[in-house]
């Protein structure tokens, strides 16, 4: 197991990330600790994802993130971004639970297109063709948005796969009902 930086010896970026977790949830997430072993990369990742969320809008960004996380079986990201989607009003609990099961019926056609694109990128990117991008274009997305959706899903692959490769334990995420946690985690046990 990797050894994560203790708070007392942390550089300013690490200390700030730890403080954010402590202030928000009362403990430092193990995924935060793992990523803070290389705080410069974590800071760059945060800057990229923040830029993508701003460019796409939070709803589209979170749908791409959740689609990728589901396809990857990433418990860390499904729980964290599921909670964020609920808190920010992006999805309600029933729609989020359905999405975790692979059911897109509660989503609009454009939202479902984003999720399907992110899932495909996360499971079989080398087989993707222009038809995959065209599905987003047909759903009303611009070329810039299509690129940003691909970048959002790709960024989630980077983060999720890193946590999985390092066998970072999954923390309980406060603010989610037991039924929703079960739905989100069940999708990671395929």
Ranking 38-42, 132-136, 144-148 by mean pLDDT, the lowest is: 38-42
Distances (CA, A) of 5 to 25, 28, 32, 41, 100: 19, 11, 10, 15, 33
What pLDDT, on the 0 to 100 scale, is given for residue 153? 98
pTM reported for the whole predicted model:
0.93
Residue 33 lies in a domain: yes
Residue 49 lies in a domain: yes
Residue 1 lies in a domain: no
Give the C-alpha separation, 46 to 41, whole Å. 9
Mean of the pLDDT values across residues 40-51? 95
Q: How many domains does the chain have?
A: 1
Reported as a single tens digit per residue, the pLDDT across 54-92 is 999 999 999 999 999 999 999 999 999 999 999 999 999
Q: Provide the pLDDT confidence category of residue 1 given band limits of 50, 70 and 90.
A: low
Mean of the pLDDT values across residues 43-57? 97
Residue 2 lies in a domain: no
Q: Provide the pLDDT confidence category of residue 119 given band limits of 50, 70 and 90.
A: very high
Q: Is residue 48 predicted with pLDDT exceeding 80?
A: yes
Residue 65 is part of a domain; what is its CATH number? Answer: 1.20.1290.10
What pLDDT, on the 0 to 100 scale, is given for residue 3? 78
What pLDDT, on the 0 to 100 scale, is given for residue 2? 76
Q: Is residue 94 predicted with pLDDT exceeding 70?
A: yes
What pLDDT, on the 0 to 100 scale, is given for residue 188? 78
Average pLDDT, the chain: 93
Domain residues for the domain of 131 are 8-186
Residue 3 lies in a domain: no
DSSP of the chain, one letter per residue?
-PPPPPGGG--HHHHHHHHHHHHHHSS--HHHHHHTTSHHHHHHHHHHHHHHHHHH-HHHHHHHHHHHHHHHT-HHHHHHHHHHHHHTTSS-HHHHHHHHTT--TTS-HHHHHHHHHHHHHHHHGGG--HHHHHHHHHTT--HHHHHHHHHHHHHHHHHHHHHHHTTPPPPP-TT--HHHHHHHHHTT--
Higher pLDDT, 6 or 181: 181
Residue 13 lies in a domain: yes
Q: Is residue 9 predicted with pLDDT exceeding 70?
A: no
């Amino acid at each position: 197991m990797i050894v994560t930086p203790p708070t007392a010896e942390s550089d300013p970026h690490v200390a700030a990330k730890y403080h954010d977790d402590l202030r928000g949830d009362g403990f430092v997430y193990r995924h935060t600790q793992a990523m803070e072993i290389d705080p410069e990369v974590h800071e760059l990742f945060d800057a990229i994802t923040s830029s993508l969320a701003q460019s796409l809008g939070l709803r589209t960004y979170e749908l791409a993130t959740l689609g990728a996380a589901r396809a990857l079986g990433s418990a860390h990201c499904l729980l964290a971004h599921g909670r964020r989607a609920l808190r920010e009003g992006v999805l309600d609990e029933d729609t989020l639970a359905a999405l975790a099961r692979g059911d897109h019926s509660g989503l609009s056609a454009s939202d479902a297109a984003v999720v399907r694109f992110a899932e495909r990128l996360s499971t079989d990117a080398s087989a993707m063709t222009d038809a995959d991008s065209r599905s987003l274009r047909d759903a009303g997305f611009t070329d810039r948005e299509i690129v940003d959706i691909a970048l959002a899903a790709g960024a989630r692959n980077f983060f999720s796969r890193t946590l999985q490769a390092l066998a970072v334990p999954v923390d309980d995420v406060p603010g989610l009902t037991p039924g929703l946690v079960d739905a989100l985690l069940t999708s990671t046990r395929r």
